[in-house]
Structures are given as C-alpha cells and as structure tokens.
Amino acid sequence: MPRRPRLRRAGDDREFGRLAFEQDGVFTRDQLAALGWSHDHVAAAVAAERWATFDNAVVLHRGPLSSRQCRWIAVLNAGPTATLAGLTALEELGLVGFSSDAIHLLVAAGSWHGPQVPGVRVHVSRRFTPDDRHPARRLPVVRYPRAAIDAAAWSARPRRAAALLIASVQQRLVTPTRLREELVLAGLVRHRSLLLRVLDDVEGGVSALSELDFVRLARRFKLPKPELQQKRTDSTGRTRYLDVRFRRSDGRAVNVEIDGSAHFGVVEAWADMSRDFALMTAGEPLVRIPSAIVRSNPADVAARLREVLEPRLVGRMSA
C-alpha cells in the first residue's frame, strides 16, 4: 500500500513555540493556520493521536488536561471577548480558600451565540469593555475588583458573598476602596446592600467572616463599639493581632478572641494559651468564644460579655 506523502508546511517554528508556551499548548485552528498548519496538518496530527481537538481549540497532546488548559479551551471556544471571570478569575489571580467546579466566563453582549458547554458558565454583560481585562495576563482574565464583585453577586449564599470580599482584602489582593468603586459601577446586583455593609466593616478592621458575625452581634445587642485587629508585641518581640478589644467604662481593656475550628488542635491551643497568659500578666483579661457560638447563640454571648464589660450596671439591674 503506497504511503501518504508527508505534509510539508511553511511557518515560523519560533513563533509556534512561543505561542505554545504562552497558551499552555492550546491553539485555535485560525492561529495554527496563520503559522502554516493547514486543516490537513491538524487532521493528520489528530489521526496520529498526537493532538486533540475541542471544537475550535487544538491541544498539542492527548494526555490529561491541566486546569489552565481547560481554561484556555473555554476562552478560545467562546469568542473574541471571552474572559475568565468570577471565581475562576479570582483563582487565577491568586485568591486561596475558594474554588468552583465550573469555569466562569464573561463575554460582551452580542458577541457570543454558542451553546452552553458542560462545565463552562458564560455570563453575558452589557457593561463589559476591554478595560475590564487584566492588562498583564496572557490568558484573558478580568481585573481583580470586577472578578470579586461578580463572584459575590453570582453567589447564591449571602455568607459566601461576604466571605469572598473579606478574604480578598485579607489576602491583600485588593483594597476595600477598589471593591466599593466596582460595586457602585455594577449597579443593582444581588446582595448589593449586604456587600456595602460588609465593605464598611472591612474598612473598620474586619478580616474574617467570624469577626463580621461578632461586629453584627455587638451592634445588634448595643455593646460598646469593638476595636478590631489590635496590634501588640509579645515577649519575643513578634507582632501579634487581637481579634477584638473592648474598653470598659473604667478604662480597662477586655480582649476577645473568636476561635474557629483551627484553634482546637493541641499545638494551636498551646500557642493560644501562651498568648493568653501574656495578656493576663499585663492585666488585660481575655475571653475566647468559638465562632460557631457567635453564630448560633448570639444573645447568650452578648449577655455574658455585658457582665464583663459593665459589671456595676448588671449588678444594679439585678438588684
């Protein structure tokens, strides 16, 4: 049986290698054609099981796909304005602690007419412009403020929406000011009033969802205004931060630490105890409250704190 003649192509191998590196080995058919790879070249590579195709995207191998290659495939198949957005963009830009099984894309209104693809969520936006794209990223991704506000607004659960903004600021990926500016531009999105209040609290020092719960508890039960994330230096010279500090009417400080599940391990508990002893030695009492109790029984927490903060007032009320 005669052998098929070897397909020859004329193209710039250096440009092909550069683009393969920048796009994690994923091309569009048009990109390959511009580099000298005709339809027949691609078909031959696929038939030889060297390459794989996913609609308009071509991957230069047949093995398992990395997460970035999946993102490239989604972007390249969704049209010229397709850009990673929401939780997908936040992951790409460095946020840790949150993930999504779906790949979220943002496209300009009128620029996408394809079918929904399993695992890819396409969000059509009338206010999306090229300026929303991050200028320094080869893989198209929106700028951080837009990604965070979109992710919060697309979240079904209010607590998750709040946690996304708090974590974004706590991990120093964006400022509350930039988030507020983006939220104003977004208009009447889901959770808008909640997110504005969350940003107020973040600007006041809230750095975790448990602290947000505590601030709301203090506000609801009319406790003294708490001071958040108070910096102090321990006996070894290291900088430490206290979750909450109250000032009693007599001027004395009462510190509160809000403990999540991570604080209940032996090593963490001993480190906490060492800090507690140092505070007591300095004459500052400290109260530890599990974050789950702050959420589940706020009235009891508030009553017990009031006894510590205003003991004389409580004594007169019970007389």
With respect to residue 285, please indicate whether it lies within any of the assigned structural domains.
Answer: yes
With respect to residue 276, please indicate whether it lies within any of the assigned structural domains.
Answer: yes
With respect to residue 172, please indicate whether it lies within any of the assigned structural domains.
Answer: no
Residue 277 pLDDT: 55
Q: Give yes or no for residue 67 having a pLDDT over 50.
A: yes
With respect to residue 101, please indicate whether it lies within any of the assigned structural domains.
Answer: no
Last residue of a domain, one of 64, 81, 101: 64
Percent of the chain with pLDDT over 70: 80
Selection from 96, 99, 117 nearest residue 107 by Cα: 117
Q: What is the total count of domains within the chain?
A: 2
Residue 307 pLDDT: 84
Last residue of a domain, one of 20, 40, 64: 64
With respect to residue 143, please indicate whether it lies within any of the assigned structural domains.
Answer: no
Q: Give yes or no for residue 75 having a pLDDT over 60.
A: yes
Residue 278 pLDDT: 58
Residue 265 pLDDT: 45
Q: Give yes or no for residue 63 having a pLDDT over 70.
A: yes
Residue 230 pLDDT: 67
User: In angstroms, rounded to a whole number, what is the distance separating the alpha carbons of residues 166 and 27?
Assistant: 37
Percent of the chain with pLDDT over 90: 46
Residue 298 pLDDT: 87
With respect to residue 250, please indicate whether it lies within any of the assigned structural domains.
Answer: yes
Residue 45 pLDDT: 92
Least trusted range by pLDDT, from 85-89, 117-121, 180-184, 239-243: 239-243
Residue 20 sits in which domain range? 12-64
With respect to residue 274, please indicate whether it lies within any of the assigned structural domains.
Answer: yes
Q: What is the mean pLDDT of residues 3-31?
A: 78
Q: Give yes or no for residue 102 having a pLDDT over 80.
A: yes
Average pLDDT for the chain:
83
Last residue of a domain, one of 28, 43, 64: 64
Residue 118 pLDDT: 82
With respect to residue 243, please indicate whether it lies within any of the assigned structural domains.
Answer: yes
**Sheet strand arrangement including 227-233:** 227-233, 239-247, 253-259, 286-290
Q: Give yes or no for residue 19 having a pLDDT over 50.
A: yes
User: Model pTM?
Assistant: 0.75
Q: What is the mean pLDDT of residues 286-299?
A: 82
Q: Give yes or no for residue 270 having a pLDDT over 80.
A: no
